[in-house]
A = this chain, B = another copy of it.
Amino acid sequence: MNGQSLNHIQTLAIVGVGLIGGSLAMALKQAGAVGRVIGVGRSRVNLDTALSLGAIDEIQSDLQRAVGHADVIVLATPVNTIAELFATIAPAMNDNKIVTDVGSVKRGIVEQAKRALGNRFNRFVAGHPVAGKEKSGIAAATGDLFENHKVILTPTEETDAEACLTIKKMWQITGAEVKSMTVSEHDRILSITSHLPHVLAYVMMDFLSTSPESERCYEMAAGGFYDFTRTASSDPEMWRDISMMNKHHLLEHIEKFKKQLDNVATMIDAGEEKAIEDLYASAKHARALVTEKRKFK
């Protein structure tokens, strides 16, 4: 691998230098784990900002050319645009280059990579850093964004083991804990832990704002409500795309959630106090397990 060890990337191309791509570049530079970073994107203003912030070393508007120069290519554009990049990069790929991505939903991206990359599909390591902020864009990027966060890789049977290890080490250098799972596990699990709660928070805010007494509701919203709806401050376009791309699992889980909500409503209606308390207590216990996991990560 052209002068590249597992812990050092000679030339890195970041396609889409926003919060995630910019933060990754910053983290690797701060660790001295990368030689040169090429920033690729459509917005010149954005790339100039990335350059002035020191996230990237040079700007390249031609994606194929950037891939030609790079050892590792990170696709960090909005999740619904990642899949369409593979056709463009395919001709510039070779057996020494690795391409990875940061999309929050994996199936569509992996399927398109397989179609477009053909016999170079083994050089694609699908990834998802489970980190983010309510703010997006290069201005919000920081070198410590991934510290103590999870990054999920979803290699397939065809993925090159060494390529996978290189991407794993890359993320470990940023302070992240790297986990592997299958594409379908990823999309199913994230739909429970992330996509469903986002939709519920959006619906809760929609519920409140369309209530006849919304003004008083705004006024009375306390700390619990505020935390509950934090994810409703996330980027609407991004979450529209995630909702669409993971619709199979999301719709299944919305349906299941409604059934469990119905179940509680039935208990309340019937005055089954013991059953209500048991359910709340077991939920509280489960939340304590989540807290515990966070402490030791």
A245 to chain B, nearest CB (A): 10
Contact at A288–B222, with CB atoms within 8 Å? Answer: no
Copies in the complex: 2
Task: Decide if A201 is an interface residue (CB 8 Å cutoff).
Answer: yes
Task: Decide if A269 is an interface residue (CB 8 Å cutoff).
Answer: yes
Q: Which of these, B226, B244, B255, B273, contacts A244 with CB under 8 Å?
A: B273
Contact at A283–B202, with CB atoms within 8 Å? Answer: yes
A129 to chain B, nearest CB (A): 10
Which among A3-11, A14-22, A33-41, A228-236 touches the partner chain? A228-236
- Contacts A193-B225, A258-B258, A293-B218 given: A240-B130 contact, CB under 8 Å? no
- Contacts A217-B189, A217-B193 given: A254-B244 contact, CB under 8 Å? no
List 16 A-B pairs, Cβ < 8 Å.
Answer: A130-B220, A185-B216, A192-B207, A193-B220, A197-B225, A202-B279, A203-B264, A207-B253, A209-B282, A218-B289, A227-B227, A244-B268, A247-B269, A254-B265, A257-B261, A258-B262
The interface residues of chain B lying within 8 Å CB-to-CB of A255 are 265
Task: Decide if A48 is an interface residue (CB 8 Å cutoff).
Answer: no
Task: Decide if A85 is an interface residue (CB 8 Å cutoff).
Answer: no
Task: Bits for A258-297, please: 1 = Cβ < 8 Å to B, else 0.
Answer: 1011101100110101001101111111111111011000
Which of A194, A221, A232 has the most chain B CB within a 10 Å cutoff?
Answer: A221
Q: Report how far A280 CA is from B235 CA in the complex, Å.
A: 8
Contact at A228–B227, with CB atoms within 8 Å? Answer: yes
- Report the nearest B residue to A247, measured CB to CB: B268
Q: Report how far A232 CA is from B228 CA in the complex, Å.
A: 10
Contact at B236–A227, with CB atoms within 8 Å? Answer: no
Contact at A287–B189, with CB atoms within 8 Å? Answer: no
- Contacts A261-B254, A280-B236, A284-B205 given: A213-B227 contact, CB under 8 Å? no
A200 to chain B, nearest CB (A): 6
Q: Report how far A265 CA is from B191 CA in the complex, Å.
A: 14
Task: Decide if A206 is an interface residue (CB 8 Å cutoff).
Answer: yes
Contact at A192–B219, with CB atoms within 8 Å? Answer: no
Task: Decide if A243 is an interface residue (CB 8 Å cutoff).
Answer: yes
